[in-house]
Amino acid sequence: MSTLAEAVVDLTAIASNVRTIASVTGTDLMAVVKADGFGHGAVQVARAALRAGAAWLGVTSAAEALTLRAAGVTAPTLSWLHGPTEDFGKLINAGVDVGVSTTTHLHAVADAARPLGVPAMVQLKADTGLSRNGATGTDWPELVAWARKYEREGGIRVRGVWSHLVDADLPGAPQLHRQVAAFEEALRAGRSAGLDPELTHLANSAAALSAPATRFDLCRVGIALYGVDPFGAGDPGRYGLRAAMTVRTSVVNVKRVPAGTGVSYGPDHVTGAPTTLALLPLGYADGLPRAASGSASVWLAGRRCPIVGRIAMDQCVVDAGDLPVAIGAPVVVFGPAEDDQSPPTVAEWARWAGTNPHEILTGIGPRVARHHLHERARVS
């Protein structure tokens, strides 16, 4: 490792997860590669997912969509969060579908398409209960009426209608059925306004795997694509999913200290016995949440060893006890279990920090070099 720490991304795991999820859903999949592919590298993940059969790519912003296009990724792509003054012309020219939730945005998209002479591909978003983006049932009739008007004029084509779920990770939650019903109602209203969307989609990872009624034409998969259990149970293996990211580093300083030694700021931690402290060049700026101080551990010298004292911006200290640890010893912060090692999982880090695995993955900072293992390659 030439850098202090790296995130190794196993693209074979990504490809395997695409095939596994598709075999469950029986639908097309949209690989959600927003936030730089949940920190895994959007372009590399997109290519691996497409090769494995994903039909669509999903991103949040125009900048993310255009990054994919600039890298030569031409697959169908939906971008879904924009300001009203976004340069929609760029997205239209790049052949990116635009998620539209308000008439304000719809007018702007239609205005941008007019001089280009090509229709903008639009996917209208209904708010079925999440109260974020999407048009509520009250605003939906006006949105679909305007969309149909622009469609007749040739300025846009409504390719899709879609929505997003509130709590699909809690199977059996009554909200799910209410949202499916509200979504079907939005589809009906769109059709009676004259729209004929070829693509309807509602499910995220958790719904794709557990709720057939949410699958429609396409499932938008994020967290499961990266091999993380979308139900928070920390057991991706029960769905045949494989964790794609391993964050690893190596020890940069080792010291033997007596009992009563304070460790890191505060100190919050004082050693209870003579022990060996190993310094890791990773801190909260690299995505190890400060809130996990006092709970987290890493894989070092064939064991799980606790991080002791406060996680600092750039560094943290591991109590290696009496294990033989030298400068340069390899450390796995989190990653999939291998034959001879069971490092912490992303889900465990999330629990230690009181957050979700998504936040851990997207929080891995820019100092952690991404290293992609291409298909058929193996972790060395």
Residue number with CB closer to ligand PLP (44 or 204)? 204
Contact between 230 and ligand PLP (CB under 6 A)? yes
Nearest residue by C-beta to ligand PLP?
Answer: 222
Contact between 128 and ligand PLP (CB under 6 A)? no
At 230, give phi and psi (nearest 5°): -75, -10
Of the listed pieces 63-71, 88-96, 202-210, 324-332, which binds ligand PLP according to CB under 6 A? 202-210
Residue number with CB closer to ligand PLP (81 or 285)? 81
Rounded to whole angstroms, the Cα distance separating 88 from 112 reads 6
Residue type at 94?
A
**What letter would DSSP give residue 126?**
B
Residue number with CB closer to ligand PLP (169 or 286)? 169
Contact between 205 and ligand PLP (CB under 6 A)? yes
34 is catalytic: yes
Q: Is the dihedral of CA 226, 208, 128, 86 positive or negative?
A: positive
Catalytic residue among 34, 150, 239, 284: 34
CB of 32 to ligand PLP, least distance (A): 4
Residue number with CB closer to ligand PLP (61 or 342)? 61
Question: What is the torsion angle, in degrees rounded to the nearest 10, for the CA atoms of residue 359, residue 7, residue 54 and residue 190?
Answer: 20
Q: Could you tell me which of 332, 320, 335 has the C-alpha nearest to residue 282?
A: 332
The total number of residues written for the chain in this structure? 380
Beta-carbon neighbour count of residue 72 at 10 Å? 8
Contact between 204 and ligand PLP (CB under 6 A)? yes
Contact pattern from residue 89 through residue 108 relative to ligand PLP, giving x for each residue in contact according to CB under 6 A and a dash for the rest = --------------------
Residue with tokens 């209410």: 178
What is the per-residue DSSP string for 318-348? EEEETS---TT-EEEEE---BTTB-PPPHHH
For the segment 256-315, give every residue that binds ligand PLP (CB under 6 A).
none
For the segment 159-178, give every residue that binds ligand PLP (CB under 6 A).
164
Q: Residues 82, 105, 215, 220: which binds ligand PLP (CB under 6 A)? A: 220
Q: 3-class DSSP state for residue 5?
A: strand
Contact between 21 and ligand PLP (CB under 6 A)? no
Rounded to whole angstroms, the Cα distance separating 256 from 258 reads 7
Binding residues for ligand PLP (CB under 6 A): 32, 34, 80, 164, 204-206, 220-224, 230
Catalytic residue annotation = 34, 265
